[in-house]
Structure 1
Amino acid sequence: MKASELRSKDVAALEKEVSDLLKAHFGLRMQKATQQLTNNSQLGKTRRDIARAKTVLAEKKRAAK
C-alpha cells in the first residue's frame, strides 16, 4: 500500500488498517513457523506496510493537535 493511499484515509480507517495488517503479519509468522509459507518476502512487505501506516497515523494525530 502506498503512503498516498494511506494519507487519503481518516484516523479511524488508519487504525483499522494497522489492526488488519498486524493480524495478517501474525498469520504469516504462524505459516512460517509451521513451514507453510512459500514466499518469505511477504513478511517484510507486511512489516513495512505496518510501519508506513503507523507513520501516517502519527502524522495525522500530530496535525490534529
Structure 2
Amino acid sequence: MAIGTKTLATSELDTFEDQRLVEELRKAKEELFNLRFQSATGQLESHGRIRAVKRDIARLYTVIRERELGIRATPAPVETKAKKSKAKKADDAEAAKEEAE
C-alpha cells in the first residue's frame, strides 16, 4: 500500500490488525526520514510528499490510540464459508439410484 494516498483512509485502517498498523507506522516513519534526508541534500522532488506522510503518521497514531481507549473497535476475524465439494453431488446421485430401486 502506498503511504500518503487515498488508500490509507480511516475506513481502510479499521480493517487492519494491530500488528499491521504498527508495521505501517514503522514504514511511514522510515519514509519520512528518507524524505527529510533527501530534502536536506536537495534531491527531493516533491515537497508535498513530506506533508502527506506526516498526516499518514498522525492518522495511524490516532487509530492506534482510539483502539487502546476502546473508542474504535478492533476488526473481527473474518470467517470464511466452507466450499461445497463436488463429491456431495455424486453422493446425491447414488442416493437417488437407491431410492429408485
Question: TM-score, normalising length from structure 2?
Answer: 0.61
Deviations 1:12-47 (A, max 9, x none): 111111111000000000000000001100000000
Query: What residue identity is the alignment partner of 2:66?
Result: E
Note the C-alpha offset of 1:62: 1.5
- Residue aligning to 2:13: 6
Deviation digits for residues 37-60 of structure 1 (CA, Å, limit 9, x no counterpart): 011000000000000011001111
- List, as ranges, runs of 4+ consecutive aligned residues in structure 1 with deviation greater than 3 Å: none
User: What pairs with 1:24-39 in structure 2 (closer than 5 Å)?
Assistant: 24-39=31-46
Gaps of 5+ in 2: 1-7, 74-101
- For the aligned residue pairs, the C-alpha RMSD in angstroms reads 1.1
> More relative contact order in 1 or in 2 (CA 8 Å, sep 6+)?
1
Write 1 or 2 for the structure with the bigger share of helix.
1
Of 9, 19, 23, the residue aligned with 2:26 is: 19
Aligned positions, number: 64
Percent of pairs with identical residues: 34
**In the aligned structure 2, how far is the partner of 1:44 from the partner of 1:4?**
21
